[in-house]
Amino acid sequence: MRTQLLNRFLRYVQVDTQSDENSEKYPSTDKQLILAKMLKEELEYIGMTDVRMDKYGYVTATLPENTDKKIPVIGFLAHYDTAPDMNGSNVKPQVFENYNGADLIINKDLDIILNIKDFPELVNYKGQTIITASGDTLLGADDKAGIAEIMTVMDYLVNHPEIKHGKIKVAFTPDEEIGKGVDYFDVQQFKADYAYTVDGGPIGELEYENFNAASAKIKIRGRNIHPGYAKDKMINALLIATEINEKLPAKQRPELTEKYEGFFHITQINGTVEETEVHYILRDHDKTEFENKKKLIQDIVNSINKRFAQPIIHLELKDQYYNMREKIEPVMHIVEQARQAMIDVGVKPEIKPVRGGTDGARLSYMGLPCPNIFTGGHNYHGKYEYAVLESMEKSVEVIVRIIENAAKTK
Of 354 and 377, the structure prediction assigns the larger pLDDT to: 377
Residue 357 has pLDDT above 80, yes or no: no
Same domain for 143 and 224, yes or no, is no
> Both 199 and 134 in a single domain?
yes
Give percent of the chain with pLDDT exceeding 90: 95
Q: Are residues 167 and 79 in the same domain?
A: yes
Of 200, 213, 209, the residue nearest 142 (C-alpha): 200
- Average pLDDT of span 40-56: 98
The full 3-state SS of the chain, as one line of letters, equals CHHHHHHHHHHHHCCCCECCCCCCCCCCCCCHHHHHHHHHHHHHHHCCEEEEECCCCCEEEEECCCCCCCCCCEEEEEECCECCCCCCCCCCCEEECCCCCCCEEEECCCCEEECCCCCHHHHHHCCCCEEECCCCCCCCHHHHHHHHHHHHHHHHHHCCCCCCCCCEEEEEECCHHHCCCCCCCCHHHHCCCEEEEECCCCCCEEECCCCEEEEEEEEEECECCCHHHCCCCCECHHHHHHHHHHHCCCCCCHHHCCCCCCEEEEEEEEECCCEEEEEEEEEECCHHHHHHHHHHHHHHHHHHHHHHCCCCEEEEEEEEECCCHHHHHHHCHHHHHHHHHHHHCCCCCEECCCCCCCHHHHHHHCCCCCCEECCCEECCCCCCCEEEHHHHHHHHHHHHHHHHHHHHCC
Lowest mean pLDDT among 3-12, 28-37, 400-409: 400-409
Tally of domains in the chain: 2
Same domain, 100 and 153: yes
Round to whole Å and give the CA distance between 129 and 7: 13
The pTM for the full model equals: 0.89
Q: Are residues 66 and 151 in the same domain?
A: yes
**pLDDT at position 356, please?**
80
Of 348, 356, 390, whose CA–CA distance to 372 is shortest?
A: 356
90 and 204, same domain (yes or no):
yes
What tens digit of pLDDT does each residue of 79-93 get? 999 999 899 999 999
Per-residue pLDDT tens digits for 272-304: 999 999 999 999 999 999 999 999 999 999 999
Quote the mean pLDDT of the chain: 96
CATH code of the domain covering residue 256: 3.30.70.360
pLDDT digits (tens, 9 = 90+) for 102-128: 999 999 999 999 999 999 999 999 999
Same domain, 383 and 394: yes
CATH, residue 393: 3.40.630.10
Q: Are residues 192 and 52 in the same domain?
A: yes
Which of these three, 305, 321, 337, is where a domain ends? Answer: 321
pLDDT over 70 (residue 315): yes
Residue 410, pLDDT above cutoff 70:
no
- Out of 321, 352, 373, a domain closes at 321
Residues 41 and 173 both lie in one domain: yes
Mark whether 303 and 256 lie in a shared domain: yes
Q: Which domain holds residue 217?
A: 212-321
pLDDT digits over 160-189, tens only?
A: 999 999 999 999 999 999 889 999 999 999
| For the chain, percent of residues with pLDDT exceeding 70 | 100
Residue that terminates a domain, selected from 276, 295, 321: 321
Nearest in space to 81 (alpha carbons), one of 10, 197, 180: 180
**Per residue in 104-132, is it b (16+ CB within 10 Å) or e — as a string?**
bebbeeeebbbeeeebeebeebeebbbbb
288 and 353 part of one domain: no
162 and 80 both lie in a single domain:
yes
Decide if pLDDT at 201 tops 70. Answer: yes
pLDDT over threshold 90, residue 1: no
Are 35 and 17 spatial neighbours (Cβ–Cβ below 8 Å)?
Answer: yes
Please give the positions annotated as active site: 81, 176
The predicted model gives 60-89 an average pLDDT of 96
